[in-house]
Each structure stands twice: as structure tokens, then as C-alpha cells.
Amino acid sequence: MIVATQKPIEEIQGFLKARGHRKVLVLGCGTCVSVCNAGGEREVATLASLLRLGPGAVDSLEKTIERGCDKEFYEGLDELVAGCDAIVSMACGVGVQLAARIYASKPVYPALNTQIMGINEGAGVWSEACLGCGDCQLGTHGGVCPVTMCSKSLSNGPCGGSQDGMCEVDQENIECGWANIVERLEAIGQLDLLDEPTAPRDWSKTHDGGPRKIVREDLAEL
């Protein structure tokens, strides 16, 4: 799931103050950011209240749609949007961009910092687990991702900064991804996988090849 956190409120207020917006729509998303307690109905109500209470007493309307990354869910918002100077989106970066695309003449500001695709470890705790590299290597790495879990995204084993299973980037908090790969492969009896020489990674499949687009011919509209 996509995990986001809220921006400092003064940053959000800064957007509105700089352009003198007096009336805004605080637009939440009912999917990932609701689940990660950052941009659902509750947070929309909280932010809208704070904007009304804050300097300049910005008039704020509240709305949470099912999913901010599908244009259909924005249908029916036209009237609401038309009455506002700007939209403060509490969706992830995807939702902010789609809203900006849909409302071509309306400023859309982000209220969140989109952080990670991660595991919800328990209430209020998330850890990063996927970078969306487009060429999943989990099958040959014991289910531990070398791209995400190694701080340097190394493809061919740990660097010299791996000590006692911890990563030199933060020896207290970050485990060495490669140490975990080896441990896990050992546990499932597949350590031999690391004997195979691997070709250099094709980074064009990641974002390094530019913004990616996926088209499913069979599904795409006729």
C-alpha cells in the first residue's frame, strides 16, 4: 500500500496565503491514505477545521472520494470545485496529479508527502518494502528485495558496510538487505541461487527509463 504522511500545516497554509486563496476544497481519498490514517475523512475534517481556525480564516469545504487515482470518482464534484479558489488534496501524489489534470484551471496543492510502498507493522508503523522497479527479483532472492532492502540497491551481494547484519547507513535501525537475503535463502535451502552469475540489471525498466506507462491491449477501451 502507498503510505503518506501529512505535510506541516504551515506549508499548506503557505500555498494558500501566497496566492490569496479564500475558499478551498479539502479533498480526501478513501483508499491507501485513508488506510494509513493520513488523508481519509477524519484527516480531511481535521485539516479543514484547522484552516478555518487559522490566520486568514480560509473557508474550507470537505469531501472524501473513494479513490483519488480514478477519474470517475471525481465526477459530481464539478459544482463544489467551481465554488472554490483551489483544491487541497489529501490524496497521495498520484491523486494530486490527477486532480490537477482534471481541473485544468484550478490550483491543486498537496497536503501530504507521499512516502513509501510499505508494510503496516501495526497501528501507526509502516516500513518500506517495494520501490516499484518493474523487474521483480524476489523469486530468486528468497522473498527479500535487493532493490528496496539494500540501501544502495546493490544487485550482486552486500557492500563492505554490512556489519553484524546491519547497514552502515544506520547501524541501529536498518538491517542489511543482503544479510537478510542470505539468511532467508539458507532457511529455505536455496542458497545455491547465489552461485549463478547474473547479468547486469536493466535499469530502463525502472523509473530511470522515464515515466512508465502500462497498456493492457486486451483490457484497453476499444
Partner 1 sequence: MIDTTEKFDAAATATQAKTPPVVRPSVLVIGASISAGRVVPALLARGLEVTVLPGQAEAKLALGLSGSLGSFIESISTRGGDVPESLRSPDSPAALVKQLAASQASGARFISDAKVRRCTGQAGDFQVLITRPDEAGQEQFETIQAGAIILAGDTFGPTSLGAEDFGVEPTRAITNLPGLMLNIQKGYIPHSLAIVIDLAAEQGKLASSVVFAAARYLARRGCRQIRVYCRNARVASAGLETLYRSARSAGVEFCRHDGKISLAETPAGLIEATSLDCELGEEITGQFNLLVLADLVRSTGQSELFETLAIRPQPGLAGNIWLGPVQTNRRGVFALALDGCDGEFYAWRDQADLAVHEISQLLTCPTREAIDEAAKVDSEKCVSCLTCLRLCPHGAIRFDEKEQAADISQIACQQCGICVAECPAQAIDLPQYTDEKIRRQLAQAPALTVFACENSAIPAGQQNEPDDADMRIISVPCVGKVDPRNILKAFEQGTNQVLVLGCNPGSCKYFDGPDRARNRLTRLREMLSKVGIDPSALQYEALTANEAERFAELVKEK
Number of residues this chain uses to bind partner 1 (CB under 8 A): 27
Q: At its nearest, how many Å lie between partner 1 and the CB of residue 50?
A: 5
Binding string, residues 9-28; x marks residues near partner 1 by CB under 8 A: xx--x---------------
- Secondary structure (DSSP) of 118-185: EEEEETTEEEEEE---SS--GGGTTT--HHHHSTT--SSS--TTEETTEETT-TTT-B-HHHHHHHHH
CA distances from 38 to 30, 77, 116, 130 (A): 10, 22, 13, 20
Nearer to partner 1, 52 or 101 (CB): 52
Q: Is 120 in the site for partner 1 (CB under 8 A)?
A: yes
For residue 86, give the nearest of 70, 68, 73, 105 by alpha carbon: 105
Q: Is 46 in the site for partner 1 (CB under 8 A)?
A: yes
Q: Is 36 in the site for partner 1 (CB under 8 A)?
A: yes
For residue 2, give the nearest of 100, 91, 65, 124 by alpha carbon: 91
* Single-letter code of the amino acid located at 56: G
Q: Is 131 in the site for partner 1 (CB under 8 A)?
A: no
Q: Is 4 in the site for partner 1 (CB under 8 A)?
A: no
Q: Is 129 in the site for partner 1 (CB under 8 A)?
A: no
Contacts of 138 (CB under 8 A, 6+ apart): 144, 145
Judged by CB under 8 A, the residue of 5, 45, 117, 168 near partner 1 is 45
Span 48-77, contacts to partner 1 by CB under 8 A: 49-55, 64
Q: Is 89 in the site for partner 1 (CB under 8 A)?
A: no
Binding string, residues 155-174; x marks residues near partner 1 by CB under 8 A: --------------------
